[in-house]
Amino acid sequence: MSGAYRRFIGVLDGFVNAKFPSGKINEMWHHPAGPKTIFFWAPTWKWSLVIAGLADLARPSHQLSLNGSLALVANGTIYTRWYYWAITPRNAVGASCSFFTALTGVMQAGRRLHYDYYVKGTPEDPALVEAKLD
């Protein structure tokens, strides 16, 4: 796989250097956190965690996983500080992605805790309403 990747990047390097010998595109392509590195692709794929967390806003709070939400909080806070700002090259996109991962986890954990402490077992409990319908 790495040989194919190196050939592919070599072809793209030639294209970028020929078409954009100077300027923003060339600078971005050759940046230490540019598209040729893991520092670009890891945050790009990590945004899927944020999107999945936001999609969970449509789920009833009794169906949310408190452990899963707390895992998002822990991952986001640790990686915002340690991985993206404590290492070189600095990667503000990665830091923002981790920050929003933590924020999404806080929102979902808050929704679940509100359900557990204030709604669970009351007449307004959606889990009880669903059980009565079955």
Tens-digit pLDDT profile for residues 41-99: 888 899 999 999 899 999 999 999 999 999 999 999 999 887 777 878 788 888 899 99
pLDDT tier, 134 (very low <50, low <70, confident <90, very high otherwise): low
Eight-class DSSP state of 125:
-
Q: What are phi and psi of 58, to 5 degrees?
A: -80, -15
What token pair was written down for 98? 């981790």
pLDDT per position as a tens digit, 26-41: 888 888 888 888 888 8
Are both 101 and 40 inside the same structural domain? yes
Please check whether residues 26 and 49 belong to one and the same domain.
no
- Please indicate, yes or no, if residue 37 is contained in any of the structural domains: yes
Interior CA angle at 105 toward 98 and 42, to 5°? 30
- Asked whether residue 52 falls in the same domain as residue 11, the answer is no
Q: Do 15 and 53 share a domain, yes or no?
A: no
Say how many C-beta atoms besides its own lie within 10 A of residue 5's C-beta.
10
For residues 70 and 18, the answer to whether their CB atoms sit within 8 Å is no
**pLDDT score for 64:** 94
Asked if residue 130 is part of any domain, the answer here is no
User: Same structural domain for residues 75 and 19?
Assistant: no
Examine the domain organization and report whether 96 and 45 are in the same domain. Answer: yes
Domain that holds residue 116: 32-124
**Under 8 Å between Cβ of 27 and 18:** no
**Residue 1 pLDDT:** 59
